[in-house]
Amino acid sequence: MRKVYGYIRVSTREQNEERQRIALQEAGVPCENIYLEKQSGKDFDRPQYQHLLEKMQKNDLLYIKSIDRLGRNYDEILQQWRILTKEKGVDIAVLDMPLLDTRRGKDLMGTFLSDIVLQVLSFVAENERDNIRQRQAEGIAAAQARGIRFGRPPKPLPRQFHSVYRRWKAGKITGAAAARECEMPLASFRYRADIYEKSKT
């Protein structure tokens, strides 16, 4: 007899686990057959997914909420889809995309259409991930150009930094000696001295 399973994946930053769980339960997936993964979708090295893969038998049915819950890497999504449908003989239904339901159209045309839709959606999912990375990089670069600093704020300069800096700049003491007087590593002293010099111009 066909068993019905559901797979949920959320990254550690996301909080939409319940939304996926409710959708799977409404589709008729028993609670005990829902496998939850709190992990990135960059690859399929996921304990719960691997356990589910071992558990499913031919003609079982797997529900997922959307194609990006299965994964975010275009090639790996296609590979896993073929493992599930061709090697394991499992049916897959993507709730957000009714066209991706292998129970329908078991003939050649139905399989062809499912493959085309899957490839397009997988490409879109990966392309969007690349676009997000690019937008983040562009946003960080633009913010840095406006003088916005990222990371922890630097420690305040020691009270004696100005006088030490002037002596070091005049060649009266070495950089190592200046760093010791300011109680900081030499590299930190040089870095802060460079910023200090630029702020004076």
Residues with catalytic roles = 11
Backbone angles phi, psi at 106, to 5 degrees: -75, -10
DSSP state at residue 101? B
Q: At what angle do helices 108-145 and 74-82 cross, to 10 degrees?
A: 160
Instruction: Name the pairing type of β-strands 34-38 and 4-10.
Output: parallel
What is the amino acid identity at position 60?
A: D
Closest CA to 70 of 140, 148, 162, 8: 8
Backbone angles phi, psi at 26, to 5 degrees: -65, -25
